[in-house]
Structures are given as C-alpha cells and as structure tokens.
Amino acid sequence: MTDDPRAKRIAELIAPLRVKPGSQVDLPHDFDPAYTLKGLKKKDSVGQMETGIAMLADYQARLAAQDTYGVLVCLQALDAAGKDGTIKHVMSGVNPQGVQVHSFKVPSSEELNHDYLWRYAQRLPARGDIAIFNRSHYEEVLVVRVHPENLDRQKLPDECKGKGVWERRYREINDWERYLTDNGFKVVKLFLNLSREEQRARFLKRIDLPEKNWKFSAADARERERWSDYQEAFSQMLSATSTPWAPWYVIPADRKWFARICAGAVLIDTLIEIDPRYPQVSEETRRQLLEVKQELEAQAPKGAPADPFEAGHAGQPARPASARRGSAGRGSAGR
C-alpha cells in the first residue's frame, strides 16, 4: 500500500460513484449526471488533471515493467456522453506501447458465428498492458436488450434464448470477470451518465459545427427516442453486475472536465491497489552488472569521463546499489 496523500483524495473522490454490490439501482433517481465535488471548480481542474495524467504515466510504466497484472477498462455510455474525449484526455500521458483501445461496433458476420463473449475475449489485455474497451461486452445486455432483433441475429439455439436470457448473461459476465480478476486482470467499469438535456445540446453542436457532422447520424436521434428503455437497461445492468471484484462506477458526464477527472481517478485507484513495482535484479546479477561497469569504464577514451552518466550527476553523490534497491543506504535517498 502507499502512503501517498493523493491516494486518499482519489479514494474519497470516487467512493460516492461506486455502485454498491448487491444494491438495486434506479439510475435517474440515484445518480445525478450534473454532480461535481463540492468546492471543486472547473478552473482548478486543469492542475488536477495534470497531476492525474502524471500519476497514470508513472503507474503505467511500472505496470508494464512488472509484467504481472493487466487492466481492462470498460467504457459504457449513450451517444455523446464523452467516451472518445475521456480516452483522449485521460490517456494522453501514457506510453502508447502499453495501451490498446478497442471500439466495438455492430458485430460482423464472423463475430455472430461465435458465442457472444468471443470477440471481447480476443481483445483482452496482456499482462503489463491496459486495454480500453470503447463500448464493451455490456452492449450484449444493453443495445441487444433494447433492440431484441440483435439477439435474433446471434443465431442462438432456441433453448438458449427466451425467458431468463438477461439474468443468465449477467451471471456469465460476472463469472467471466471473476475469472479474469482471479488471474491477475483487473476489470475497471465506467458508466458515463449523461442527462437527456445535455445529450440534446451535444447533438445540436454536432449538427451546427461542420467539423463535428461526421460524429452524428440520424440513427443517434432514433436511439434517443428509446431513452427510458436505456435508463431501465442501465439500471438493471448496474444492479446485477456491480460485483466486489469488478464494481461499476457511475461517472457524472454532464460536465466533461469533471467526468475526465473521475474516470482518471478510478483508473489510478485501481493501479494504486495493484501497486506495481519495477523488477529488482538479484545480488548475483547486480554483481555481474558492476563487473561490466568496470570494463566499460576502462574503455573511456582519453579525456572522457569514465562514466558519463555519473559525471553528469556530479554533485549528487552516486548512491550505493543497496540504497537504489530500497534497503538502508546513505542519507535520505527516498523520493
């Protein structure tokens, strides 16, 4: 665990957003899309975001180096809730080598020839990586539920559809996520909660600005007509699939700046919990490294410092290897 004071603030920020496992959610009643933290202003958010981005970059580098855990981030939301912008801003500081983003659209005919989790399983993160699902396996209990013709296209045998199919899918999804968690893959689930009025405003902006037109389609307006069906499907999903091993976070999405801070905070909180460390080499390897160091130093051309790196850090006494590896060394070598 960490004694970083930022960790405590992050935990406090995200606690009210977590869906308590086993609770019955009535989304429009229980979560306000316009919620922000009391006292936090938009103008303060820039500094907070910068801190968050720097923390994410640091933790992600350690996650990749440790190569033991993986993180899956699932982003769900209605159109215009800010999924793309959240990914763009929250992940802006991380090394692209360790992050993959996958967007899930209407399934292809190949995908429909498999079980419904197949296409998501193909895109899971490797150890050390963060995978972001822009829409996720939760579409299988959202759009597929609101538009049952999607279920018909999935070519299920008769006995596998019909009554109880959604309850079964919730259980299967929970089991799948538990399996992933049990094997070192954390599942972070973010639902961006947008109000109907804010969606209307954002749709109009997409129509009014020519450079945003590509982001809008008449189909989006038709989906909007099913607003209450989606609210119901979200409520049931949140109630049934917020588990102790993979809880849902409802991110208030009407204020983009706050949504991004919260989304970043949930991800950082998960990484803090993992607490990834840079691998340490054994005493034997360390001894070999020091032998090679001596050989390299002996190769210094005339006039060149034996070790340019150490010379570049002149004035900051080289810390003995023991201090660099965490045991008691000289002075206070901690960060």
Binding residues vs ligand AMP (CB under 6 A): 79, 104-107, 135, 139-140, 143-144, 150
The Cα 139–Cα 128 span in angstroms is: 26
Q: Tell me which stretch binds Mg ion (CB under 5 A): 77-85, 124-132, 136-144, 201-209.
A: 77-85
Residue 82 partner contact from ligand AMP, Mg ion, none using kind-dependent CB cut-offs of 5 to 8 Å? none
Residue whose structure tokens are 């018909």: 152
Residue 230 or 245 having the CB closest to ligand AMP: 230
> CA 23: distance to chain centroid?
23
Given 25, 79, 236, 249, the residue binding Mg ion (CB under 5 A): 79
The Cα 133–Cα 14 span in angstroms is: 20
The Cα 23–Cα 44 span in angstroms is: 33
Residue 48 or 136 having the CB closest to ligand AMP: 136
Residue 104 or 166 having the CB closest to ligand AMP: 104
Q: How far is the CB of 258 from ligand AMP (least distance, A)?
A: 22
Residue 106 or 160 having the CB closest to ligand AMP: 106
Q: Tell me which stretch binds Mg ion (CB under 5 A): 26-34, 72-80, 115-123, 311-319.
A: 72-80
Q: How far is the CB of 220 from Mg ion (least distance, A)?
A: 5
Do β-strands 99-103 and 248-252 pair in parallel, antiparallel, or remain unpaired? unpaired
Residue 230 partner contact from Mg ion, ligand AMP, none using kind-dependent CB cut-offs of 5 to 8 Å? none
DSSP 8-class letter at 99: E
Residue 48 or 76 having the CB closest to Mg ion: 76
The Cα 227–Cα 310 span in angstroms is: 63
Residue 107 partner contact from ligand AMP, Mg ion, none using kind-dependent CB cut-offs of 5 to 8 Å? ligand AMP
Instruction: Please give the structure tokens belonging to residue 216.
Output: 């809008």
The Cα 147–Cα 281 span in angstroms is: 55
DSSP 8-class letter at 255: S
Do β-strands 130-134 and 70-77 pair in parallel, antiparallel, or remain unpaired? parallel
Residue 104 partner contact from Mg ion, ligand AMP, none using kind-dependent CB cut-offs of 5 to 8 Å? ligand AMP
What's the Rg (C-alpha) of the chain?
Answer: 24
Please give the residue ranges that form the binding site for Mg ion (CB under 5 A).
79
